Amino acid sequence: MFHQERQSVPQESASHSASHKGPIVSENSPPEVKSGPPVYPGGEFYSADFINVLEKSIQQVIDEHTSGALLLVSVNNLSMIINAYGHDTSEIVIHDLIKMIEALLSPDDIVQRLQRDQLGIILANRYPEDTLAIAQRIHNTIQNFGRDNFATAGLYIIGTIGSVNFPTETAGAHDALDKAYVALHSQQSSPHHTFDMTRREADHCRQQMGLANYLFKAYKEKRLRLAYQPIIESKTGKTMHYEALLRLIGQTGKISSAGALIPVAEKMGMIDIIDTMVMEMVIEELRNAPNVSIAFNVSNMTTENALWLEKLSQLVKETPEIAPRLIVEITETAVHRDLRRTAFFVASIQSLGCLVALDDFGSGYTSFRQLKALSVDIVKIDGVFIKDIAQSADNRFFVKTLLDFAQAFGLETVAEFVENGEIAKILMEMGINYMQGYYFGKPANYREWLSEGEYKGG
């Protein structure tokens, strides 16, 4: 399995000066894009009025040796509000929210609607700890929006706040807007993200994009291959099928696991390419080796990809005799992601005559109802419970419970991470159907079923 191995609403325009006393509120539409040199973020995305006011505010705190902050507030579920209640209600929500935020601020602070679902707030002469406190009050206001108003009591706003302090973290309006935007879209779980937080993510982001580029280059240069690990029948010791595992051939010819790159592929939107490529490689192998059965793992995201299912259906129908020898593995986390969608994915594969295995069984504590709804053919018990089974009575009890659970539904069972004979003996006594692990064979970069025993790419 891969993951184990990879061990417009019209807006009124208003102009205000920075010296205006009282919170400044406007709902500006972006300026028209004019001919000339390219306009970068902070240009066409935000009004010139707001940028000018922000620039003056930053310069003012520099001159006065104080500090301030820019906050971007996003109403994340505005589309939901529009869909449920219509345009007019959504505009009332934004207008009321601006008024509520205005009441939290001082006369020198500035509030402006920047985009349909986004507000900009300039805090003047505020220290970072003040910004945090204000952001918390704004978040509380968003959470409690409409509770005291009968007309809006049925509404609920989901909001996120991104902030950057100036001049300590930025000395220009465009840079401040960029950094607040980065903070707003940070992957931190808290509702308020500061740019100081996101700086710690910068190296990780660069690394992720670099790895994605590395993986895509390997794909384009056809340096992705499959390795095969045997799955052994407990009663006979015979190899019943193989699991295909993704491998990458480096520039020097060295072969290594591509598993660690799969989460990157998921995050960067490349997983559909990878999963389709693996599917095509496995099906081609099944067509060329009529006595071999192969399993391969798909991403949780692929269980929601209708185009992937269409491609699988097309290829299987071209050579239907391969169907009983093809096993698609899904992870238990896919079940908890969306049970009905996953059940449809499973049923679609089985309708072609292929088998489906539920991987990582036990890691997510799938219920009887969920397992019954899925109606998979095979369950693979998570290796985390297998590798220490000889030393852990708790693991033995848990694995036996999982086996009884699966066998009550008439499902075939596979134990992963079988690393030695002692583990194999315990599992056989428990009644496991199949075993997989280094004790029976490591993933091979060649096809064991070829008489010449030689790896041939493709």
Residue range 117-142, pLDDT digits in tens: 999 999 988 888 889 899 999 998 98
In which band, very low, low, confident or very high, does the pLDDT at 412 lie, cut at 50, 70 and 90? very high
Residue 236 token pair: 């006979």
Going by C-alpha positions, the residue among 88, 100, 167 that lies closest to residue 111 is 100
**Cα–Cα distance measured from residue 156 to residue 140, given in angstroms and rounded to the nearest whole number:** 12
Residue 93 token pair: 């929500």
Q: What is the pLDDT of residue 276?
A: 93
Q: How would DSSP label each residue in 143-155?
A: HTTTTT-GGGTT-
Residue 152 token pair: 């809006």
pLDDT at 186 over 90: no
Write out pLDDT tens, residues 298-348.
998 899 899 999 999 999 999 999 999 999 999 877 777 778 889 999 999
Write out pLDDT tens, residues 268-280.
788 888 999 999 9
175 or 8: which leads in pLDDT: 175
Residue 445 token pair: 């970069």
**In terms of pTM, does the model score above 0.95?**
no
In which band, very low, low, confident or very high, does the pLDDT at 113 lie, cut at 50, 70 and 90? very high
Vertex 340, ends 338 and 342: CA angle to 5°? 65
